[in-house]
Structure 1
Amino acid sequence: MRPQHPVEPQPGREGAGRLPTWRMGRAGAGPLGRSSRTARAPLPAVDLPAAAARREASRAAALAAWRAAREAAGLPPGAPEGVADALALARRPDLDAVLVATPPDLQPQVAGAALAAGKALFLEKPGALRAADLAALAAQARQQRVAAALNFVMRASPLIACVRRWYRAGILGLPERWHVENWAGGEMPPDHWFWDPARSGGVLVEHGVHFFDEAAWVLGGRPVRAWGAGWPHPRRPAAGARALAAVEYRGELAGQPWHLVATFYHGFVRERDEHQVRELGFAAGWLRIEDWVPRRLTGVLRLGPGAVQALQEAAADLVPVAVRPLSDGRFWVEAEVAGGEESYREMIREGFVRLRRAAAGLGEPLAPLTAGAAALRVAEAASRGGWQPVDAGAPAPRAENTFG
């Protein structure tokens, strides 16, 4: 990955030079946000005046992690304050931005307070339990002219971005299949808010929105209807830990209509040996992306004259792509990045960097709040049982032949 540093605007863009230090408060510091607690620590022009959490132990752990990460990066840790009241933190006059990582049922209230106080907002997914609440936050941010973004980290994956560019350049042809298999860890304490659908929204709301957005962002298609089902944890019958969703998408590429059914399975049940994979089918062939934090992309594609060069050039600023011919005339495609926790933190940083630049009038956020509302509409439809129409909301963007 080649992220943009928040204090170093790209050459040739308006506002060249260093941006001032951003004072960011954090609301929410539980164990699910362990990686995001320190993702911004290596950025020299970011300061953390305060972090809020209800439990004193969570506050202490968050501040200790920040100090350790800053010192590891050779940066002064400052003197961040631990506070209990997230709403009070959101309104503090000494903050420029607020990161809201509370449980989902509390996110709209805290985020709304931050926006009302004129703070830039970096909102952890899902952002709300209902799409209408997140759409209201997006409208509030627009009305007050405040930069706001959702932490949809998959948009910052160089491998996912490769697929998006290849598809939109017409290299892959029309999409035919999209499948996500996510066997994840599920050993959180029984009383954790994740297991309470009144607080988390359930698996498809709390976690599934990542992947609903990923499919929509890559393909630019419109979700028409969705189906879903859920099952309990095999060792905790009271915990809803497994969910399957099927989503019907329709779209258009360069004037050609397409239709596909995507499936998304999430199971938070593994004690070890997690397994995550995406299987993507296009007219030109198939692609496979491994791991929750995308680490390795492989595929077999039927490519026309000039397509190999176009494929590699489209990914040149993201990741090296190896292409070799096969005996049947098709091509093997492979690309790999580091993956793991550091790549995950890098992806979070990229979203934050884009928000910082947007707040300075230098571009748009990586994932606007409207994208979160669109993903929540899919999750809501899939959570109602049976095939249900997806509320249209804002129209999906058309996918044109472009590397953008």
Structure 2
Amino acid sequence: MDRVDGIGLGIIGYGIMGERLLRAALGPGAGSVSVCGVWDPSPAAMARLAESFPEIPRFESVAALIETCTCIYVASPPAAHLDHARAALAAGKALFCEKPLAVDVAQARAFVRDADAAGMRAAVNFPFASSLAVDQLEAWMTDGTLGALREADIEVGFAAWPRPWQEDAAAWLDRRLQGGFTREVLSHFLFLALRLVGPAALGPASVRYPVDGASERAIAAELTCGTIPVRVRGLVGETETPDTNGFTLHGSNGAIRLRDWAIAERLVDGAWQPAPDAIPQEEARPITLARQLAKVAAMARGEPQDLASLSEALAVQELVEAILASGE
């Protein structure tokens, strides 16, 4: 398969995220990278890949895939992230990893230290780094629309966890070791808060684990990002919507927010008004992923880009695990 600017992308893990990025790389992101192959330990996943994309090489081992590619995208369940990331590091390859970096914070810290010492080209897939809606929020924060930032709110809610489209991954998504909505969803908004508002210190927090062995069903936390208070709330089972979320910034001139992943809005005369070019997540996602892939290519070439760094991802993971550790 021909390379695009020499950037061959290998995909480890052909679940929801692996397939999503593959489709982006074959579609709107085709000008940035070329997919040199996929590996997944599940025969069923590889059979599904062969049926949907017979032209994509299927590798029998991680080592063979890593050897072939310029950059490795790790989309396996979290417990395997570090094994694959360290293999990419040892081979001198660039790394694009799903969050979290690891299921153990100490191991994540050690990996980031080693990767930084080696000068590894690496980033973590927090798509808000390439979101058009986030670009709009930043514009409102700098052009005077918001005014002086005073406080912020993060709220996420789910009818059930995992969400319907994630049920095939429930074996790990609804377990305390790797899963839960705080790691899977809330982490994206914590990344956004850290990037837009400032480094976070955790105040009072609480978590409910009403189902034995399962992941959390409610969290509440108070953060201070820089000097700004940020309230965080998450609930399962108190909404009919599979996935609802909002990140609201309150300023001296009013309020702005990101709603439902992709809609930037500002409060005008007591009513929320979407940005003129706002589009729903279904339309925004391929654009965001194409922008992510362009930055992945830049990262792999050693060029400047603003993907989530390893240190940013580690800060998010440390915050997430501190919140979850406050559970009953």
Indicate the TM-score class for this superposition, using the shorter chain for normalisation: 0.7 to 0.9
Moved more, 49-58 or 160-169: 160-169
Can you give the 5+ residue segments of structure 1 that lack an aligned partner in the other structure?
1-17, 68-76, 252-257, 301-325, 388-404
Distance in 2 (alpha carbons) for counterparts of 1:107 and 1:89: 17
> 2:14 aligned with 1:29, yes or no?
yes
| Alignment partner, residue 263 of structure 2 | 295
| Alignment partner, residue 240 of structure 1 | 215
> 2:122 aligned with 1:182, yes or no?
no
In the alignment, is the contact (CA less than 8 A) between 1:242 and 1:266 conserved in 2?
A: yes
In the alignment, is the contact (CA less than 8 A) between 2:152 and 2:250 conserved in 1?
A: yes
In the alignment, is the contact (CA less than 8 A) between 2:10 and 2:38 conserved in 1?
A: yes
> 2:186 aligned with 1:194, yes or no?
no
Q: Give the residue type in structure 2 aligned to 1:80.
A: P
In the alignment, is the contact (CA less than 8 A) between 2:222 and 2:231 conserved in 1?
A: yes
Q: CA deviation at 1:363?
A: 0.8
In the alignment, is the contact (CA less than 8 A) between 2:206 and 2:220 conserved in 1?
A: yes
Output the TM-score relative to the length of structure 2: 0.84
Q: CA deviation at 1:195?
A: 1.5
| Alignment partner, residue 48 of structure 2 | 61
Q: CA deviation at 1:286?
A: 1.7
Partner residue of 2:77 out of 103, 110, 117 = 103
Distance in 2 (alpha carbons) for counterparts of 1:271 and 1:239: 21
Partner residue of 1:137 out of 108, 111, 119 = 111
1:151-187 deviations in whole A, cap 9, x for unaligned? 0012221222222343255542123232222326534
> 2:221 aligned with 1:280, yes or no?
no
1:365-384 deviations in whole A, cap 9, x for unaligned? 41111111000111111111
1:16-61 deviations in whole A, cap 9, x for unaligned? xx96231111111123544233222121452222211111111222
In the alignment, is the contact (CA less than 8 A) between 1:226 and 1:378 conserved in 2?
A: no
Distance change in 2, residues 1:177/1:340 (3 Å):
closer
Distance in 1 (alpha carbons) for counterparts of 2:159 and 2:24: 21
> 2:300 aligned with 1:359, yes or no?
yes
CA RMSD between the two structures:
3.0
In the alignment, is the contact (CA less than 8 A) between 2:17 and 2:75 conserved in 1?
A: no
* SS, match of residue 48 in structure 1: strand
| Alignment partner, residue 334 of structure 1 | 274
Moved more, 118-127 or 362-371: 362-371
Structure number with bigger Rg: 1
In the alignment, is the contact (CA less than 8 A) between 1:50 and 1:81 conserved in 2?
A: yes
Q: Give the residue type in structure 2 aligned to 1:215.
A: A
In the alignment, is the contact (CA less than 8 A) between 1:129 and 1:205 conserved in 2?
A: no
Distance in 2 (alpha carbons) for counterparts of 1:61 and 1:208: 30
Q: Give the residue type in structure 2 aligned to 1:219.
A: V
Q: CA deviation at 1:334?
A: 3.2
Q: CA deviation at 1:102?
A: 0.7
In the alignment, is the contact (CA less than 8 A) between 2:221 and 2:232 conserved in 1?
A: yes
> 2:230 aligned with 1:261, yes or no?
yes
Q: Give the residue type in structure 2 aligned to 1:195.
A: D
1:46-78 deviations in whole A, cap 9, x for unaligned? 2222211111111222354456xxxxxxxxx4x
Q: CA deviation at 1:216?
A: 0.9
In the alignment, is the contact (CA less than 8 A) between 1:51 and 1:63 conserved in 2?
A: no
Q: Which has the higher helix share?
A: 2
Q: Give the residue type in structure 1 aligned to 2:20.
A: S
Distance in 1 (alpha carbons) for counterparts of 2:141 and 2:207: 30
